[in-house]
Chains A and B, each alone.
Chain A
Amino acid sequence: MSQNDVDILLVEDNQEDAELTVHALRRGNLANTLLHVRDGEEALEFLFCAGAFVHRSFEHPPKLILLDLKLPKVDGTEVLKRVKGDARTCTIPVVMMTSSREERDLLRSYNLGANSYIQKPVDFQRFLETVKTVGLYWLVINQPPVIAAQKARGQASS
C-alpha cells in the first residue's frame, strides 16, 4: 500500500485497542487501506507530509481519521487542533475514539471541529460492533471531502 492510498488513519497507542479496531474493520471489509500510527507526532507527520511521509501528497487525504485523545508525544486534542486549523487538512473527517468519560473532553473536541466523538466500549462485543458501525458510516454512507484533483475533474465534466 502506498502512502497515498491510506483511507483510514488510526492513531492509537494502546496495542490491544488498535488490534481490536483493525479486526472489527477487517470483518467489515473496511481495513484494506488502514495505516496505524502510535502517537500524535507520527500522525502529524503523516497528515502534513513530513518526516517518513515526505513523499505523501496533500491531494490524497484519508477518508477518515480515528483519533485517540490521550497519546504520547503530541496528544489527540493538539492533533485535532492542527488538522482543523489548517486549510490543507481541515476537511478530513476526524472521529475521536476515547475512553474518556469527561464532558469537557467531549465539548472541547466538538468545539475544535471534531466530526464525531465515540467512547470506546469496555465490553469486547460492543467494541467490535461500535467500530464496525463507525467504519460503515464514515466510509460507505458518508460522502468524503473531494480533493482538489477530483474537484477539477468533476467541474470539467459538469
Chain B
Amino acid sequence: MNATQSAFDILLVDDNPADTDLTSEVLSRHGCRGEIHTVRDGVEALAFLRGQGKYAGGPAPQLVLLDLNMPRKDGRAVLAEVKSDPALRKIPVIVFTTSQSPRDITRSYELGANCYINKPGTLPEFVAAVTEFGNFWFRRAYLPHCNHEPL
C-alpha cells in the first residue's frame, strides 16, 4: 500500500492537450513523484489500464483522472467498465470535467467514481484545484498497488 510519499503512476484521460499539459505540470510540482501518463480517449484509457495492445507490459497506474466528454468512448463508459472489472475496480478514479450537470455528478457517483472535481475555467482556479487534488491524493490518501498481474 505504501504511503503517500512513495512514487506512483497516474493516468490522465482527456482529449484536451492544454488541460493535460497544465495538469501534469502542476502535479509534478506538487508531490507527484511517479510518471504521469496521458491518453486522449476512452478506448486508449482502457487499453492502457489493461496493458493491452501497444501498452502491453507497460506500467499500471494507481490513480486515474478522467474527463467525461471525449471522442470514441466517453468517460462515463470508461468509469462503468473500470468499476465493474474486478481487476480494475480498486483503482481510484477521479472525474475531472467542465460539466456541472447534476445528472453527470450523480451518475458518476452511481457508476463508482471516487470523487468529482469541476475543472475551473480560470488559470489560478485550475492550478488551485489540481494542487488540492495533489495534496490529498499524493500526501494523505493510501492507494492500492495496481499491477497488471493479480496481486
Contact = CB atoms under 8 A, between A and B. Distances in A.
Contacts of B100: 143
Give chain B's interface residue range (CB within 8 Å of chain A): 35 or more
B103 A151 contact: yes
Contacts of B140: 118, 130, 133-134
Nearest to A102: B1
Interface string B97-129: 000111101100110101111100000000001
Interface stretch (A18-26, A38-46, A65-73, A104-112): A104-112
A125 B6 CA distance: 21
B89 interface: yes
Contact of A146 (B102, B112, B144, B151): B102
A145 B141 contact: no
Contact of B144 (A110, A119, A150, A155): A110
A91 B110 contact: yes
Nearest to A148: B106
A117 B103 contact: no
A116 B117 contact: no
A141 B114 contact: no
A134 B136 contact: yes
Given A90-B109, A110-B91, 18 more contacts: A91-B110, A107-B144, A110-B144, A111-B90, A115-B115, A116-B136, A116-B141, A117-B143, A118-B142, A119-B3, A130-B140, A133-B136, A143-B116, A143-B117, A145-B106, A150-B102, A151-B102, A151-B103
Interface of B: 1, 3, 86, 89-92, 100-103, 105-106, 109-110, 112, 114-118, 129, 132-133, 135-137, 139-145, 151
Interface of A: 87, 90-91, 93, 103, 106-107, 110-111, 113, 115-119, 130, 133-134, 136-138, 140-143, 145-146, 150-151, 154-155, 158
